[in-house]
Chain A
Amino acid sequence: MKNTENLGILNINSILYKTRLSPKFLNRRVYKPSNPKTIISFIPGTVLDILVKENQQVRKGEDLVILDAMKMQNIMKCIIDGTIMKIHINKGDKVSKGTVLMELK
């Protein structure tokens, strides 16, 4: 058969099918559970201000970073109580989506 090159295996309900795998399937985003201890930029933008310092204790709801994106000043808030372990950014940095901005413990 002519069209059967580049076949992969797809497992559906414990049955292994010989078939072509689509680029969309192969490049699909692998799920990662969100971690409230890592603060990630949810959108690309510019760091306007950092409102906390390393080793500072923070409470849930406290402001962490102001990110300028989509013509808005987005205030990123802490969603847990904790301590700022590491800050990876400086004021004025341009960050892409998904960049780790700071880590808590």
Chain B
Amino acid sequence: MGVNKKIKELQEKRKQILLGGGEQAIEKQKAMGKRTARERIMSLLDKDSFIEYDLFVEHDARDFDMDKKSLPSDGVIIGSGTIYGALVAIYAQDFTVAGGSLGQMHSRKITKIMDHALKMRIPLIGINDSGGARIQEGVNSLAGYGEIFFRNTISSGIIPQISVIMGPCAGGAVYSPALTDFVFVVDKISKMFITGPEVIKTVLGEEISMEDLGGARVHSEITGNAHFFAESEDECFEQIKKLITFIPWNNSRKAKPFEPGEPDKKYNPEKIVPDDPTLPYDVRDVIRSVADNSDFFEIMELYAKNIVIGFGRMGGRTTGFVANQPLEMAGVLDVDSSDKAARFIRYCDAFNIPIITLVDLPGYLPGVDQEHAGVIRHGAKVLYSYSEATVPKITVILRKAYGGGYIAMSSRHLRADFVFAWPTAEIAVMGPEGAANIIFRKEITSSDDPDVTRKQKVGEYKAKFANPYVAAARGYVDAVIEPRETRRFLLHAILASENKVVKVLDKKHGLPPF
């Protein structure tokens, strides 16, 4: 056989396998509004950058007539390529081949690319579209999941791990995305749950559709399992690409710097925030008033909207923003928002991304449901994450910062490197009304007109304590600044903390209040 013939043979073999589950299965996939695994990889990566490994892998299962079945590439595509020139490792489950079910070789391909990503210190992207365990392969299939979860865990904090849910991802399979850094979902296409609607109906008699149980919206708005919601696969790929531009390849690098650009003049910080601390505004506009090109890439936009998290750039450098959102639930900290912020802070810390915190909150949300849901434990996560973080921490107190909320939101006491406050800041042990009611209780109750006395005392308290100067007098605030000076101070702080060094006490690991 000559060389040409052998090359031809290879081309033939490839052609066969590249068809995946065959034309019929591909048509079915398209009818569901989904792309094939290969198309997805091609849409996400730079043109012609994809190098595939393990195309010729086959399963060797023998039970249940599996020996008579050929599953091209065993239902998963692995390889690496680039996104805007940045290397990534990637795998995509192929639903057209045995429903993307996970058997031994399928999982070995995934763990191979995971090992590769970890060794080469490059981000890992996993596109999930699978009916679950390949039942015919029994415990080998379970072993496969376990091997994946283990690698997700040991790689955590070393390389960025991104999960894309583009089909079903049910039962044990959901734990891989849950262990990764960011989960992307697509409306009507993503379905994630531990137990499906049928089991729930049999066991509990509760009827629910797959969409209402674990659709993209549910995970974006209610559970917080998903970080990015897209209307279509295309939109989802754009989001992933954008995210990749903000994060470094691994934990020993910094994100690639970009050419800095000034914010849009239409975001005027002096006009955004009302002086009255009880009035709402959109804190994202404050972020846009300071970030390069007013570009803010929000994460978990639909979940716990009372806190805003996401990436922007300051002087070209990726920066994480955490901000109370007075527009939603007055910007309170509660179970969900604490959880959301804490994880993001740890993400930034793991990947050398400085954190800018914008503070304007009335405190914690009162309520039996909150207390019983463990707001103590969840709220503690914020304190833990900020205290633990050694990346540059810069805080701007915009308006109110009362009580425990003030401490939690990256205060000096948790080792913020820079704390700035606007003249509208109110840094106090609690809001003037509550404080006056306690401090002047006797005067108010014994007064001939308690309401008038209360108002008067509230006014006195406000005048004396509802400002940034008491905290500034103790050095808890480094500078009281005009809103329009904010970007200048932030750029300075980012530059000044470029080489920040903190010695961390020796320990195996801490015990964050998970």
* Chain A residues within CB distance 8 Å of chain B: 1, 3-4, 7, 10, 12-22, 24-25, 28-29, 31, 43-45, 69-71, 94, 96-97
Contact assessment for A15 and B205 in the assembled complex, using a CB-CB cutoff below 8 Å: no
Which of B280, B369, B402 is A4 in contact with, Cβ under 8 Å? B280
Question: B328 contacts the other chain (Cβ, under 8 Å)?
Answer: yes
Question: B431 contacts the other chain (Cβ, under 8 Å)?
Answer: yes
Additional A-B contacts beyond A20-B328, A96-B205 (8; CB < 8 A): A10-B332, A13-B362, A14-B431, A17-B330, A20-B327, A44-B205, A44-B206, A96-B206
**Whole-angstrom distance from the CB of B203 to the nearest CB of chain A?**
6
Q: Which of B419-435 touch A at CB < 8 Å? A: 430-434
Q: Which of B327-378 touch A at CB < 8 Å? A: 327-332, 336, 362-363, 365-369, 372
Contacts A17-B278, A17-B362, A22-B306 known; A10 to B329 CB distance under 8 Å?
yes
The 10 closest A-B pairs by CB, nearest first: A17-B330, A13-B434, A31-B368, A14-B433, A12-B362, A19-B330, A44-B205, A15-B431, A28-B369, A44-B204
Which of B280, B402, B434 is A19 in contact with, Cβ under 8 Å? B280
Contact assessment for A14 and B437 in the assembled complex, using a CB-CB cutoff below 8 Å: yes
Contacts A16-B278, A18-B280 known; A28 to B367 CB distance under 8 Å?
yes
Closest residue on chain A to residue B370 by CB atoms? A28
Q: Hey, which chain B residues are within 8 Å of A70, CB to CB?
A: 203-204
Q: Hey, which chain B residues are within 8 Å of A18, CB to CB?
A: 278-280
**Whole-angstrom distance from the CB of A69 to the nearest CB of chain B?**
8
Question: B482 contacts the other chain (Cβ, under 8 Å)?
Answer: no
The CA-CA distance from A45 to B203 in the complex, in Å, is 8
**Whole-angstrom distance from the CB of B26 to the nearest CB of chain A?**
39
Q: In the complex, how many residue pairs between chain A and chain B have their CB atoms under 8 Å apart? A: 85
Closest residue on chain A to residue B336 by CB atoms? A24
Contacts A44-B205, A44-B206 known; A29 to B369 CB distance under 8 Å?
yes
The CA-CA distance from A20 to B306 in the complex, in Å, is 9
Q: Hey, which chain B residues are within 8 Å of A28, CB to CB?
A: 367, 369
The CA-CA distance from A28 to B362 in the complex, in Å, is 20
Question: B281 contacts the other chain (Cβ, under 8 Å)?
Answer: yes
The CA-CA distance from A90 to B328 in the complex, in Å, is 47
The CA-CA distance from A45 to B204 in the complex, in Å, is 7
**Size of interface on B: residues with Cβ below 8 Å to A:** 36
The CA-CA distance from A96 to B207 in the complex, in Å, is 11
Contact assessment for A25 and B204 in the assembled complex, using a CB-CB cutoff below 8 Å: no
Q: Hey, which chain B residues are within 8 Å of A25, CB to CB?
A: 329, 365
The CA-CA distance from A9 to B146 in the complex, in Å, is 48
Q: Hey, which chain B residues are within 8 Å of A1, CB to CB?
A: 281-282
Q: Hey, which chain B residues are within 8 Å of A45, CB to CB?
A: 205
Contact assessment for B327 and A19 in the assembled complex, using a CB-CB cutoff below 8 Å: yes
Contact assessment for B278 and A71 in the assembled complex, using a CB-CB cutoff below 8 Å: no
Closest residue on chain A to residue B306 by CB atoms? A22
The CA-CA distance from A17 to B402 in the complex, in Å, is 14
Question: B326 contacts the other chain (Cβ, under 8 Å)?
Answer: yes
Q: Hey, which chain A residues are within 8 Å of B402, CB to CB?
A: 13
Contacts A3-B282, A13-B431, A31-B369 known; A19 to B363 CB distance under 8 Å?
no
The CA-CA distance from A29 to B370 in the complex, in Å, is 10
5 pairs from A and B in contact (CB 8 Å cutoff) = A12-B431, A19-B330, A20-B305, A31-B372, A44-B205
